[in-house]
Structure 1
């Protein structure tokens, strides 16, 4: 579709959604690197944006990925930020349909035909959805290019309005599917943008997608906050021995497995949200430290866990995690004592397993050893290793430098922290909440579709970096994330935007799978109108 001829909000949203989806942007590929400059060029060619300020922000020196920013001016300083990510997960899972993965109309037809003999509930539901004509398939269409498209449709409408109150700032970012480097860079850049352009940011609207396998009522929501995510880790040191004489040592892998079993679904780390059940913690990875096969029991093991929170701070999460690890170790040693049947007992099982936090091990080192540790951390910073593996290797290094002996457990964090955000009692946040709830109450009458307000966005999102979060709680994460300084590179100040932030985006089903599909009418007809009205009310002077 020629966007120059698409003058209605639904037409513009549909046109941008297809165009954005057809331009591939898989995380970590050259396509993601190309996408930012491509989008900036597309915005400059759009007639509605001929008076807009459009620029790109490189994620880091030599990184190659860019945030794309566009400022549309009305009257006054008040500004609403519309933001979302443009990167997607891989298309390889489409198999023989991969060539069509980013061509929504063609993929919808081909996928519908491929599901004619569907024999799973998910596949049968997908076939029914696609046959109904109410859904459109495509990698990244739902997560989350249709959300960006709705934002761009609203931007075009704003740009063509005479004497519009306030300003709109649109920022599209890369890397949400990996480590949110784009959102973190954009959050750091915002103060400079305010100062340079004379803006007062009153609210941010994230445009991320929500999945709903039911009637859509759980997908048609305005989320007033977002869940937080941490990755607690346990580096376990054992006492290796020949497997023919297992009573002479303590198996690090067995100890790590005991921790994994105790932490899995642990109620102590499950935080409830009001009357809604919380998401329990779960093991994400576990491995021993052996490089190959031999008959010696593992000397080390490493386990990582997914822990979600709504209001708990990282120090509280790590406290609880430490207690669970210590309990698991004590229980295992008790079981081994009973199983050993050694008449005089086994000395290595008589003492509790020491537990250290990563920061305590670092403090155990002398200055020369700390320099060696820093040099090692810097040497692996630019490698392609994932952050948890970098954290494992750095912990292994600090353990060796400490000259301590096993058994032991070293706890810490292994990845980027996503802090929970909640609308505060500050006037701007309270006003945002009131307007969002008003939009929701009026939705059936104004848009022909209900929209509800929810306390939290169901998954982790870039809201953690734009919204109101307790940045002071990052201190304990920084001290206990081995790769923090050289690989995470979180800035010492202004790492979070701390802007009142909500999420409203498209809904559909099965994103991150080949069945990813978008609910068309909500994405193109309802969502842009709701976002436009949210922005208009937020930008009206208070009391008007």
Structure 2
């Protein structure tokens, strides 16, 4: 066997990490082809090449599926992972070593004093492997390859479908594309999904957290955003206009750390909202004030849907703009200057309908297409500039704040009350305690955001219509297959290896957890529930 012993698994993770696949790079494009070649080293896939497939995920990227199929059952476990990683700027001169785990680990061991005491202890212990993607989440892929190989060798009477995707770290384009193809795969091979098994690593809940976690749900993430369109003026006559930065400051204060969206379930709380991006749409420097500024806000969810968030968000925007107007009016009275106008607030849908009526569908399509085709802008930049361009045709509305959604959107999902998941959680706790002296803790909402958000979407929820209507790039460069997701109703769980510091210079994987404990756990869990 190629990926069975702890030594073989360490070799495999080092190989997978060496295939640099940072999001948006050529390496991300090439990774699934390299992985496909690696899987073809197995005689099973040489004899059944139709069980290895690639799926277009846009921008030359592909998701990859590898199927082990038994004739004894239609029960199927879908093994979910992602192969893209975040970038490596924090490595500085050690950037090359980010993809050489053994060499990087040795280099850190030569100068442990450069790090905090906790990290020094981990370096000198010899228990960790450092490197970009070791923890998040190429070890998950390695574990799934191990399970596929085991199933083939031992002829397990349950189907395993390995599904690994690009772009999880930015927009989850890979998983969204894979969802579109899962139904086709199910029909093509006669599969019935019994479990989605993700193997994202165990994330710390707080700094220096030593606990091991398993996850029966995944937190949601949505980005309510705003375009502030003021009235430009010369900096020497500031009150003859209304600075969009001034307008934005009121909502930024209102949104940052607000508890308006807070949720608590199972004793767990959503992190507070923060501003993820604040930028000026004025390209050049001049002494003219800016009349258009954009803000993007991160909001986490558990039970709330897009409707719930948008209603609360618009209430906050209205409050913030009322406060802005009041302060501005006070300043104008103090300076004995007439205000330039009253701030209006509209949703993107309202702006779209207003502009469409004014300029017609042909001109509207030209506006949207012009920005959709710009390769120098991401979906967030395109969204803001589309809304901004519409306002230029409706200057009678300014000063104006436009509320909208910017991609990506990760719906929250939870399987904590599912009978199978409850049993798997209890089995996992017992197995780790009795065999490895580990007492795992169940987390009901994975706090790292995951591709599990795109399975088992609430079949009764239609709030995505609100999301669709208020996302400027919807169905052009970004969409979420909500209806297909609603068809993928199966329990899910996230069980992965222990590690520390994802997305940081000191990202590291606990070797015993990755190469011994977790493979043993996953194999025995599958046998206990699906091979009796």
Counterpart for residue 35 of structure 2:
39
Among 188, 196, 210, the alignment partner of 1:216 is 210
Q: Secondary structure at the match of 1:487?
A: coil
Counterpart for residue 374 of structure 1:
365
| Deviation, structure 1 residue 36 | 0.6
Among 52, 55, 74, the alignment partner of 2:52 is 55
Counterpart for residue 407 of structure 1:
399
1:277–1:76 distance in 2 versus 1, CA, 3 Å = closer
Counterpart for residue 360 of structure 1:
350
Counterpart for residue 83 of structure 1:
80
1:144-200, Cα deviation, whole Å (9 max, x unpaired)? 0111111211221111114x2221111111111121111111111111001000110
Among 112, 115, 138, the alignment partner of 2:109 is 112
Among 121, 131, 143, the alignment partner of 1:138 is 131
1:293-324, Cα deviation, whole Å (9 max, x unpaired)? 23332212111111111111111111111111
| Deviation, structure 1 residue 49 | 5.4
Q: Following superposition of structure 1 onto structure 2, how do residues 183-198 of structure 1 map, counting pairs within 5 Å?
A: 183-198=175-190
Asked if the contact 1:83/1:172 (under 8 Å) is kept, the reply is: yes
| Deviation, structure 1 residue 326 | 1.2
Is 1:485 matched with 2:475? yes
How many angstroms apart in 1 are the aligned matches of 2:318 and 2:279?
Answer: 19
Q: Following superposition of structure 1 onto structure 2, how do residues 438-457 of structure 1 map, counting pairs within 5 Å?
A: 438-457=427-446
How many angstroms apart in 2 are the aligned matches of 1:380 and 1:330?
Answer: 32
1:347-382, Cα deviation, whole Å (9 max, x unpaired)? 446x4x221000111111346533322233223334
How many angstroms apart in 1 are the aligned matches of 2:406 and 2:209?
Answer: 37
Q: Following superposition of structure 1 onto structure 2, how do residues 279-294 of structure 1 map, counting pairs within 5 Å?
A: 279-294=271-286
| Deviation, structure 1 residue 489 | 4.1
1:112-158, Cα deviation, whole Å (9 max, x unpaired)? 2233344xxxx332222010011110111111011111121122111
How many angstroms apart in 1 are the aligned matches of 2:272 and 2:376?
Answer: 30
1:243-276, Cα deviation, whole Å (9 max, x unpaired)? 3333333221101011101110011022233433
Aligned length: 524
Counterpart for residue 199 of structure 1:
191
How many angstroms apart in 1 are the aligned matches of 2:435 and 2:125?
Answer: 25
1:48–1:127 distance in 2 versus 1, CA, 3 Å = farther
Among 416, 436, 454, the alignment partner of 2:425 is 436
Q: Unaligned stretches of 5+ in structure 1?
A: none
Counterpart for residue 335 of structure 1:
327
Counterpart for residue 509 of structure 1:
500
| Deviation, structure 1 residue 486 | 1.1
| Deviation, structure 1 residue 241 | 2.5
Asked if the contact 2:63/2:164 (under 8 Å) is kept, the reply is: yes
Deviates more, 1:204-213 or 1:252-261: 204-213
1:73-117, Cα deviation, whole Å (9 max, x unpaired)? 232100001110011112333122222211111110102223334
1:387-431, Cα deviation, whole Å (9 max, x unpaired)? 111111100122223443311110011112100001276xxx432
Q: Following superposition of structure 1 onto structure 2, how do residues 91-102 of structure 1 map, counting pairs within 5 Å?
A: 91-102=88-99
Asked if the contact 2:203/2:448 (under 8 Å) is kept, the reply is: no
Is 1:416 matched with 2:408? yes
Q: Secondary structure at the match of 2:154?
A: coil
Asked if the contact 2:4/2:146 (under 8 Å) is kept, the reply is: no
| Deviation, structure 1 residue 45 | 0.2
How many angstroms apart in 2 are the aligned matches of 1:47 and 1:519?
Answer: 31
How many angstroms apart in 2 are the aligned matches of 1:334 and 1:371?
Answer: 39
Asked if the contact 1:422/1:468 (under 8 Å) is kept, the reply is: no
| Deviation, structure 1 residue 515 | 0.9
1:417-460, Cα deviation, whole Å (9 max, x unpaired)? 100001276xxx43233223322233211344232221110121
How many angstroms apart in 1 are the aligned matches of 2:409 and 2:483?
Answer: 16
How many angstroms apart in 2 are the aligned matches of 1:129 and 1:501?
Answer: 32
Is 1:459 matched with 2:439? no
Q: TM-score, normalised by structure 1?
A: 0.90
Asked if the contact 2:80/2:198 (under 8 Å) is kept, the reply is: yes
Report the RMSD for the aligned CA atoms in angstroms.
Answer: 2.3
| Deviation, structure 1 residue 19 | 1.7
How many angstroms apart in 2 are the aligned matches of 1:248 and 1:376?
Answer: 30
Q: Secondary structure at the match of 1:268?
A: coil
How many angstroms apart in 1 are the aligned matches of 2:339 and 2:136?
Answer: 55
Q: TM-score, normalised by structure 2?
A: 0.92
How many angstroms apart in 2 are the aligned matches of 1:366 and 1:83?
Answer: 42
How many angstroms apart in 1 are the aligned matches of 2:490 and 2:369?
Answer: 33
